[in-house]
Amino acid sequence: MYQDQTLTCEDCGKEFVFSAGEQEFYAQKGLTNTPKRCPECRKIRRQKSRRKMYSAICSKCGAETKVPFKPTEGKEVFCKECYKQMQKASATA
Ligand SMILES: [Zn+2]
Ligand SMILES: [Zn+2]
């Protein structure tokens, strides 16, 4: 089975452990690459790449959702689920 691996972070050069559990998780997701960065650097990169998201209320189901644009009052906003359903509906129409 899996064994903990010690890897070197590409960004900060620090060693970090790619644990057996993480390896299993990666394998389950079908990822064959080993992580190149330590968890801290990965977190930093994720935060940097994350676009600013605004919370909005879905006009259809009322669920709170996040949108990449500032919601305009009076304009309809849909959550991911409703958006998906609408796309499906329009595809079959
Ligand atoms: Zn690092
Ligand atoms: Zn919705």
- Tell me which ligand sits closest to the C-alpha of residue 10: 1
pLDDT for residue 93: 62
* pLDDT by 10s per residue, the chain, length 93: 899 999 999 999 999 999 999 999 999 999 988 999 999 999 998 887 777 888 999 999 999 998 888 888 888 999 989 999 999 988 876
C-alpha 45/C-alpha 51 separation (Å) is 12
Residues with CB under 5 A from ligand 1 (ion): 9, 11-12, 38, 41
Return the domain boundaries, the chain: 5-49, 54-92
Ligand 1 centre distance from Cα of residue 85 (Å): 40
Beta bridge partners of 15: 8
pTM: 0.50
Centre a 10 Å sphere on the Cβ of residue 35 and count the other Cβ atoms it contains.
Answer: 18
